[in-house]
Amino acid sequence: MTLELKHRKHTLFHLIAWLILIFILSNYALFQTGELVSNVFYRIAYAIAIFYLNYSFLVPRLLLKNQKLAYFFCVMLTIACSKYLIETLFPSFAPISSVNRTAALVFFPIINIVLGTAIRIYQQWSIDEKNKKKIEHQKNLTELQVLKNQLNPHFLFNSLNSIYSLSFKKSDDAPEAILTLSELMRYMIYKANNDFVLLREDIEYIKNFIALQRMRLIKKAKINLSIKGNINDQKIRPLLFISYIENAFKHGVDLEGKTDISIDIDIKEEELEFNCTNLIGAKPIEKEGKGVGMKNTLEQLKILYPNRHKLQTFEKNNNFTVNLKLKLD
């Protein structure tokens, strides 16, 4: 919503409120006296003047700048001066009903000022909250982009290492590995910067990554990928799982090149559960919060799925397992 449109809505709201007040007071005067007394309009003009002097000047210039004593003094001075001016300029000014003249000139302005102050403070609080959310959102976007920028070179470095290993062995799989890497990079460039991707696209990326890793491992390597549930319609934030899968291939291979990796993705309605289990190999495992990739993914989860994810890592029977549960958007 543009600033001009907001201003128009704000002005229209005030205009309608004053028209309603004029209607109520006019009808009340007719009910009390049987005629529309002229000082009803003086009263409305008096109320409007007091309201906007407080609403547009005293509250923003003094109260909201924490000058409470000066604000209180100016309010009292405004009520006293307005009472004096009304009594001097409009001696015939009288209350509509049996309420005495002093009450009409003091008590009603106080109610008017309290109401205007409450409205202005609420509006300022609402503006401050919106600004805080905008700043927090921008901060999250900046942090997320930094994390992605760190993750992309990290992934590319690991993938090039895999291709280098194939080339060093003069493997016939090297050309296919380069094609697979190109598919991975296409996803990284054209999809990974989106806010959301289709789950099937992210899983296809995982399949390509696994295919690339299979080429550098011995033929007896056990790698199992299981997908359960509907992946065609669900959307997810990109690249949430790859760091844990990379970690499994990096640390789940023993000195002889043997490995046993099991990756399970289970989708049930609005919840997704990801499990990645690997043998504890020759290299020490990078547990939660350690390592560039896993640390970045943890930070992304905190930003993108606050209070909607549960991450656990544990070791059992010489196996290391990552369990991640997500509430999907």
Average pLDDT over every residue of 111-133: 85
Task: Kindly report, residue by residue over 138-188, the tens digit of the pLDDT.
Answer: 666 555 555 455 445 656 666 677 676 767 767 677 777 778 878 887 887
* Residue the block writes with tokens 């543009």: 2
Instruction: Measure the CA–CA gap between 301 and 311, rounded to whole angstroms.
Output: 9
> What's the pLDDT at 222?
86
Place of tokens 């709201």: 13
Q: What is the DSSP letter of 95?
A: -
Helix-then-strand count for the chain, H and E: 9, 7
Please give the model's pTM, rounded to 2 decimal places.
Answer: 0.55
**Residue 224, pLDDT score:** 92
Residue 39: the pLDDT is 60
322 pLDDT band, cuts 50/70/90, is very high
pLDDT tens digits along 10-40: 777 777 777 776 676 666 656 655 555 556 6
Instruction: Tell me the average pLDDT across 319-327.
Output: 93
Q: Which helix (H) or strand (E) holds 224?
A: strand 222-228
Confidence (pLDDT) at 96:
47
Could you read off the pLDDT of 45-84 as tens digits, one per residue? 777 888 888 888 899 889 888 888 998 999 888 888 877 7
Task: Please check whether the domain covering 171-327 is classified as CATH 3.40.190.10.
Answer: no
* Closest of 224, 313, 305 to residue 272, by C-alpha: 305
**CA 148/CA 240 separation, integer angstroms:** 11
Helix then strand then coil, in percent of the chain rounded to 5, is 60, 15, 25
Contact 210, 225 (CB under 8 A): yes
Q: How confident is the model at residue 189 (pLDDT cuts 50, 70, 90)?
A: confident
Per domain, the residue ranges of the chain are: 3-132, 171-327
Amino acid 311: pLDDT: 93
Return d(Cα 74, Cα 65) in angstroms, integer. Answer: 14
More confident residue, 323 or 50: 323
At residue 288, the pLDDT reads 45
Asked if residue 104 has pLDDT above 50, the reply is yes
Centre a 10 Å sphere on the Cβ of residue 225 and count the other Cβ atoms it contains. 15
Match 């990096």 to its residue by tokens. 250
> pLDDT per residue over 252-297, tens digit each?
776 666 788 999 999 988 899 999 999 886 555 554 445 566 777 8
Residue 102 vs residues 28, 113, 321: alpha-carbon distances, Å: 20, 17, 79
Q: Give the Cβ contact number of residue 201 at 10 Å.
A: 16
